[in-house]
Amino acid sequence: MKVNQAEIVISAVSKKQYPNDGFPEIALAGRSNVGKSSFINKMIQRKSLARTSSKPGKTQTLNFYKINESFFFVDVPGYGYAKVSKKEREAWGRMMEEYFQERETLRATVLLIDLRHPPTEDDIIMYDFLKHFDIPVLVVATKLDKVKKAKRDKHIKVVREALDLESEDHLVAFSAETGEGKDQAWRHLSEFIS
């Protein structure tokens, strides 16, 4: 996919603020700090359109990025960050449910998993949540550059087995540093937005 145009349209906290131009959407979900914003930037070849941070909890709103005047990437706040209050966690849950249950233009979700570690309980809950709502999932295992070549296949197998991936769900190993996995991720995502 050649990206000619990319812009942030809105940072939304409730559905009244979602864009209503009807373009298909691909959401990004995953733990805080797993690399959701970095994934968007690498995919669209922009260094820092989506704000990233080495500190978890950077993305706090639903950020809608319009790409090529034809679809949206929606950057979603991460989960699993210990330093949030019960109140914040509940607000996060409401925002996620409102988006994932009701958004008609949502075509698929990219679920990002840190390839260095086995999926967490929260990762498994997120995958099951998406399956429950019949939302197509592409699993992207991030930080591939941080895993030794000889260990990659084993780590990928651990991710597949822990999530109990259904046969229709693909997994792409990806690095936002090197760009490995980028073309493969685009091939899968293109099918959802065409």
Residues 107-146 that bind ligand GTP (CB under 6 A): 142-143, 145-146
Task: Determine which residue in the list 33, 41, 59, 63 makes contact with Mg ion, applying CB under 5 A.
Answer: 59
Q: Counting contacts by CB under 5 A, is residue 38 touching Mg ion?
A: no
Q: Which of 138, 140, 135 is nearest to 113 (CA)?
A: 140
Provide the b/e sequence for 34-69 (b: ≥16 CB within 10 Å): bbbbbbbbbbbeeeebbebeeebebbeebbbbbbee
* DSSP 8-class letter at 37: H
Write down the least CB distance from residue 35 to ligand GTP, Å: 3
Residues paired with 73 in a beta bridge: 26, 65
Q: Counting contacts by CB under 6 A, is residue 63 touching ligand GTP?
A: no
Tell me the window of 57-65, 116-124, 128-136, 157-165 that interacts with ligand GTP (CB under 6 A).
Answer: 57-65
CB nearer ligand GTP, residue 108 or residue 176 = 176
Q: In whole angstroms, how far apart are CA 177 and each of 41, 90, 192?
A: 11, 33, 25
- For the chain, the first-to-last Cα distance in angstroms comes to 12
d(CA 109, CA 118): 20
Q: Counting contacts by CB under 5 A, is residue 37 touching Mg ion?
A: yes
Tell me the window of 21-29, 34-42, 101-109, 170-178 that interacts with Mg ion (CB under 5 A).
Answer: 34-42
Write down the least CB distance from residue 115 to ligand GTP, Å: 9
Residue numbers at the binding site for ligand GTP (CB under 6 A): 30, 32-38, 52-54, 56-59, 77-78, 142-143, 145-146, 175-177
